[in-house]
Each structure stands twice: as C-alpha cells, then as structure tokens.
Amino acid sequence: MAAFYRSNIDYITQHAVSADKRRYVDTLEAPRHFFDADHYGKKPFTAMPQKWLDAAAKYSADTLNKYGTLPWAIQYQYYRLIRAFKAHDTTAILNASAYLGHYVADAHVPLHLTLNYNGQLTDQIGIHGLWETRLPELFGDRYRYYAGKARYIENPLTKAFKICRASFNSVDTVLRFERILNKTFPADKKYSLVRRNNRKITDYSIAYSPAYQKMLKGMVERQMRASILSVGSF
C-alpha cells in the first residue's frame, strides 16, 4: 500500500484540493467541510447522535446540512475508499483517498468547528486565513511533521467525531488569544502588503503573525502533525 501511494503521490497532491473546487459546481459540497458544533448547545458532542439517521431524526437533515456534515463526510469517503479497493479501481481509490484526506485535514482546523468560522461574530474577520494559511506559510518549514506509524481505527465515524471534538475544544483559545494580541499590538503594524500569486494583497504582517504563533505555543504545528497521522490511519 505504501508503494502504491508513493508511486501515485503526484495525483494525490494535485487532487488534494478537488473537494474545495467541487464547491463551485455542487451546492451540497460546502457543508462537508465543516461542522458548526456550537449551534447544538454548550455540550454539542453529547447532544448530537453520531449515526446520521439518528441525528437527522433529532435535528432534521436540512439542519445538519445547514450547519455542516464533516464527520459524516469522512465516514462516507472512508467506505467509498473500501469499495474502490474491493473493485480494484485505481482511479476511484486515488479519488476517494484525495477527498478523504481533505475532509480529515479539515476536521483538524478548529475554525471548521464553529459558527464563528472567520471571526465574523467577534470582529476578528480574517482569523481563519491567519491560522490556516498565513502561519503555515511563514513557519511551516520549521514544523516537525513526523507523526509515527498509522494506527488502526476501530470505528471511522467515532474517530471522526473524536477529531472534531478535539478541534472544537481549541476554538476558544484560537479566538481569545487573537483578541488579546489585537488589543496590545500597534494597529498600524498589524497588516502589511505581501505578494501572493504574482499580486500584492493585504495580509497579517510578519510582526503580528509571529506574535500570534508564539501565543498559540505550537498549536498549528500540532494540529498539522495530528492531521498527518489521522490521514494515514484512515
């Protein structure tokens, strides 16, 4: 299996973003990338049944689709991958692998687990890109990515919910630390012009970003490493 994926790593890399691109042609795709846990109360993972039919019976399928279906998307792609292996369908194996990896990685991003996904409810608009893109761009080459051997997963849906719960538990830290930093940081030094895709855009500065990275004490690195382990395990 390792040899198979290694020889097809270019395909996996190229199609790692296929799930994001699909959102432009499939209206049902977007909810698969998040799960707004806080919509379901203070103890959402206690309130939410894990099985889809039970959850839909309690909250309705429309509600689940509105507030995200990420854990069930992981489960679906996992079994889609099994079917592809049983059918010896190489293209389907690689396609399902790319989608499964994307959803599993999304589940490790705390801001994919909250209604306040981009700080829009707390006057912190842009924090999603800061956590998910800006910090890895600036510091990713210093992160340690070795995650050890893959671990057997007894129940893929239970594991998906466990990942989501752990990420949700970090939401408060992600938002609170940025609020604290914003109050103490000079406003005129928070943003700067950076070049991305051959054009200049306004982004968090190379002074503000390291300060936030330091406050998080390696959270982004830990979540990326956890994501690697989870993707390999699934």
Rounded percentage of the chain residues whose pLDDT exceeds 90? 96
- pLDDT given at position 182: 97
Domain count of the chain? 1
- Overall pTM surpassing 0.75 (yes/no): yes
The domain of 95 spans 2-233
- pLDDT given at position 1: 87
pLDDT in tens, 158-177: 999 999 999 999 999 999 99
- pLDDT given at position 195: 86
Average pLDDT, the chain: 96
Which residue bears the tokens 């109360």? 41
- At 14, the pLDDT band (50, 70, 90 cuts) reads very high
Domain harbouring 211, CATH code: 1.10.575.10
- pLDDT given at position 76: 98
Question: Cα–Cα distances in Å, from 73 out to 53, 184, 211?
Answer: 14, 40, 35
Question: Cα–Cα distances in Å, from 143 out to 94, 104, 203, 218?
Answer: 27, 20, 21, 9
- At 59, the pLDDT band (50, 70, 90 cuts) reads very high
pLDDT in tens, 178-210: 999 999 999 999 999 988 888 999 999 999 999
Rounded Cα–Cα distance for residues 119 and 61 (Å): 26
Rounded Cα–Cα distance for residues 132 and 80 (Å): 27
- At 128, the pLDDT band (50, 70, 90 cuts) reads very high
- pLDDT given at position 224: 98
- pLDDT given at position 196: 83
Rounded Cα–Cα distance for residues 194 and 48 (Å): 42
Backbone φ and ψ for 175, nearest 5 degrees, come out as -80, -45
- pLDDT given at position 198: 86
